[in-house]
Structure 1
C-alpha cells in the first residue's frame, strides 16, 4: 500500500464508522426529527449554585463559618453504632449556640441538615460570606485499634506532618471523588500559586489559631499525643481565610464516642473552642488596628 492510499484509509475509515453509527441511530429513532431521546450533559456546579446559609449574631461581630464534616450519602467514619456526620453536627450546633450566647462572633454553618457538600463548596461558602475564620469539625475511626483516642488539630501544608496525617488527608479528600467529582487535576494546577502567594500568610494565622485551640482546650478536651498535625486537606485550601480542621476524637474508642455523643462532651467542646476563637479574634483585631488596616 503506497503512502497516499495509506493516509486516505486512515482518514476515511473513522469517517465511515461515524456515518454508519449516525445511520443506525436514525433508524432506531434515537436522533432525528421526532426522536424521543435527549442527550443531557451535567456540567459542574458553579460556586454560586449553593445557597448561602443563614448568618446569626450581632451585625458588628466577626464571622466564623463552622463546617460539620461529611453529610448526605457520605456518613464519614462509623463504629459502635456512632456515625461521624451526626456527631459532628451536634458539636457544630453546640459551638454555634455558645458563640452566639457569649456574643463572640456571628456564625454560619456550611450545612444545617443532612446534606452533602464538596470540599471546595464548603470553603467557598466561607469566602462568599466574607468569613474571618473557618473551622471544619470531624471525627475519626481507627478500626479495630480501639485504644487510639484523643482529639487532633489540622492545618494546611503541602507536606504532611506524619504518615498518619497523610493517610487522613487522602481519606478525607477522597470523598469528593466518591461524590462524583475529582478536583485533583485542578488542584495540581493551582496548588503552587495558592501556597506560595496569598495563602502563606493565611497559613500562619491558621497555625496561630490551632495553637490557641490546644492551649484553651487543655482543661476541657483530651488530645491525642500528637495533637498538632498538618496535611494537604482540600477543605482547608481557601487562600484568604484562616482555616483549621478539628478532629474531635476516635469513635472507634468507646470513651471518645460517648463523650462526643453526650451533652457534657458537646458543652466542653463548645466552651473550649469558643475561648480559643475569642482570643484569636481579639488578637487579630488588635493586630489589624496596630497596622492601621481598615
Structure 2
C-alpha cells in the first residue's frame, strides 16, 4: 500500500486535481491559520433544470433542500463556531463534481448534502455515507437516482477507469470514512429526538456527491417527498427549523471531536 504522500500524488495525476486547485499540506496549514474557524459546506440537492423528486402534492425537492440549507446556515452562523458556505444559494443547476470541487477548493472541514428523495413505503430522516457497496437495496436505489442528476442537467461526464475508481475508494476508506461515520452517528443522535427516523438510520451507498477523498461527507435525507406525511412536514418552515437545529447540534458535536 503506498504511503499517504504517494497516494495523494497518484490521485492528483488520476483526476487532474492539481490543476483544479488541490491545496498542498503547507498551503492548507497556512489557510487554517488565517481562518481558524472550520468551514462547513452545505449542499442543497438538485436545482435549476433538475427539480429532484416531485412530491405527491407537487412539491419540488430542489426548493425544500434550498430552504432547509438556508435555515441551517443561519443557525450555524449564529453560534459563531464555524464558517458556512453553500454550493448554491439560488435555483441553479450545479453538476455533482462541481459540488465536490466547491468544497475541496475551499479546504472544507465537512460536507453535508441535503435531500428529500422518493422511495415507495419509506418515511423518516436518514443519513448516508460513502461505500462502494450499498448497505441495502433502498440505499443503492437512492444513490443511483441521485447520481443521475448530471444526466438530467444535460451533462455527459467522461468515463472513469476501474483502476481509478479503486484508488478513489481506497483513499476514501482510509482517509475520510471514519470521520464521515462519526458525523453520521452524531447527526442520527441529534435527529432522533426531533423527527421520525427511517429504520437503520445510518446507511451506506456509492453517492457521487460524497466522493471528496479528504473531506468527511454525509448525505442527509430529511424525509421522503413520496410520503404524504414527510412532504407535509417538510413544507412547513417550523419543521425545517427543527431539522436545522438538530443538524446543527450534530455538526457541532462532530466539530468538537474532529
**TM-score, normalisation: structure 1:** 0.73
Say if 2:153 is the partner of 1:179: yes
Which digits, 9 at most, give the CA deviation of each residue in 1:32-83, with x for residues without a partner? xxxxxxxxxxxxxx958xxxxxxxxx94311000000000100000021211
**Residues 172 and 211, structure 2, Cα contact 8 Å, conserved in 1:** no
Partner of residue 219, structure 1: 193
Task: Give the corresponding residue for 1:65.
Answer: 41
**Using CA pairs below 8 Å that are at least 6 residues apart, which structure has the higher relative contact order?**
2
Contact 2:172 2:212 in 1 (8 A): no
Q: Check whether the contact 1:59–1:106 (CA below 8 A) recurs between aligned residues.
A: no
1:271 and 2:245 correspond? yes
The whole-number CA distance in structure 1 between the counterparts of 2:61 and 2:161 is: 26
Query: Is the 8 Å Cα contact of residues 47 and 121 (structure 1) preserved in structure 2?
Result: no
Structure 1 segments unaligned to the other structure (5+ residues): 1-45, 49-57, 285-294
- 1:275 & 1:210 partners in 2: Cα distance? 12
**Which whole-Å CA distance do the structure 1 matches of 2:237 and 2:169 have between them?**
39
Residues 103 and 165 (structure 1 numbering): CA distance in 2 closer, same or farther, change over 3 Å?
same
Range moving further from structure 2, 89-98 or 177-186: 177-186
Provide TM-score, normalisation by structure 2. Answer: 0.83
2:111 matched to 1:137?
Answer: no
Unaligned runs of 5+ in 2: 1-18, 22-33
Larger radius of gyration: 1
Aligned to 2:126: 152
Mean alpha-carbon deviation: is it higher for 151-160 or for 178-187? 178-187
**Of 255-264 and 151-160, the range deviating more from structure 2:** 255-264
Name the residue aligned to 1:248. 222
The structural deviation recorded for 1:241 is 0.2
Shift of the alpha carbon at 1:198?
5.5
RMSD: 1.8
Aligned residues: 227
Correspondence for 1:105 among 82, 86, 94 = 82
Residues 36-55 of structure 1 mapped to structure 2, 5 A cutoff: none
Residue 84 in 1 paired to residue 25 in 2? no
3-state SS in 1 of match to 2:198: strand
